């Protein structure tokens, strides 16, 4: 069984090839989170796109709850967490923007993102089992290289921020979908968590459908089978 579950904001859980990957796990301070932190006790991999608090979230605590969980982020961000919060080096999957990293039967990759961050460059994250590929764009503005991300990784699903202000807005995210060309669907994230990123997701859904792609609007806690 493969599944994507939206945990509100940019937090996303992916079940794939028997692995449980959580990306940008903001749980405790996430007003939209449908789960408590102990829900993530058994995760295999914690992916972090960048170190803004609403993405780094509860990463350190999750890694400390479960020493089998691995961290996937840029090596610079990983080393920052080692030095600052004593995350054990044994829990790192070292990486940077580039090709796939094989990890216990799944493939992980970091992509470019146009944004800022404190301790390393911001990224997007790709998770794949070789059959189904999921692209989480992280926080990003619209950029032309999304076309390349689509070409290289050929994602089935693209999780894209649409909240505006700090990231793409719904209109820009529709243009992104047209460049990434997700085969099975585009899923909006990073909106309506707080008033500053309040938008109408239907604007995204409508635009994506007009371009001939599938849009999947999830409620926090809702999941789709892949």
Interface residues with Zn ion (CB under 5 A)?
Answer: 52, 139
If the CB atoms of residues 55 and 107 are measured against Zn ion, the closer one turns out to be 55
**Residue 114 Cβ, how far from Zn ion at the closest point, in Å?**
11
The CA R_g of the chain, rounded to the nearest whole Å, is 16
Question: If you ran DSSP here, which 8-state letter would residue 97 be given?
Answer: B
Given a contact cutoff of 8 angstroms between Cβ atoms, the answer to whether 220 and 33 are in contact is: yes
Given a contact cutoff of 8 angstroms between Cβ atoms, the answer to whether 115 and 40 are in contact is: no
Secondary structure of residue 94 in the 3-state scheme: coil
Cα–Cα distances (Å) from 47 to 170, 206, 211, in that order, read: 24, 30, 30
Separation of alpha carbons 211 and 217, rounded Å: 16
Separation of alpha carbons 52 and 118, rounded Å: 7
**Residue 100 Cβ, how far from Zn ion at the closest point, in Å?**
24
Separation of alpha carbons 123 and 115, rounded Å: 8
Burial 117-146 (b: 16+ CB within 10 A, else e): bebbbbbbbbbbbeebbbbbbbbbebbeeb
**Residue 166 Cβ, how far from Zn ion at the closest point, in Å?**
6
């Amino acid at each position: 069984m493969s599944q994507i579950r939206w945990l509100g904001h940019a937090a996303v859980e992916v079940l794939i090839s028997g692995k449980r990957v959580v990306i940008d796990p903001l749980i405790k301070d996430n007003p939209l989170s449908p789960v408590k932190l102990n829900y993530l006790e058994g995760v295999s991999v914690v992916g972090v796109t960048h170190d803004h608090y609403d993405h780094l979230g509860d990463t350190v605590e999750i890694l400390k709850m479960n020493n089998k969980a691995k961290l996937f982020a840029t090596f610079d961000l990983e080393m920052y967490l080692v030095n600052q919060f004593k995350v054990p080096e044994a829990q790192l999957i070292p990486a940077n923007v580039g090709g796939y990293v094989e990890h216990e039967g799944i493939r992980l990759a970091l992509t470019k993102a146009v944004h800022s961050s404190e301790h390393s460059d911001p990224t997007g994250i790709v998770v794949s089992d070789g059959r189904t590929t999921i692209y989480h764009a992280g926080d990003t503005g619209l950029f032309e290289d999304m076309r390349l991300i689509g070409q290289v990784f050929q994602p089935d699903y693209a999780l894209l921020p649409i909240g505006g202000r700090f990231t793409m807005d719904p209109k820009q995210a529709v243009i992104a979908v047209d460049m990434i060309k997700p085969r099975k669907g585009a899923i909006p994230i990073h909106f309506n968590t707080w008033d500053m990123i309040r938008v109408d997701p239907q604007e995204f859904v409508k635009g994506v459908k007009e371009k001939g792609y599938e849009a999947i609007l999830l409620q926090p806690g809702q999941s789709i089978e892949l």
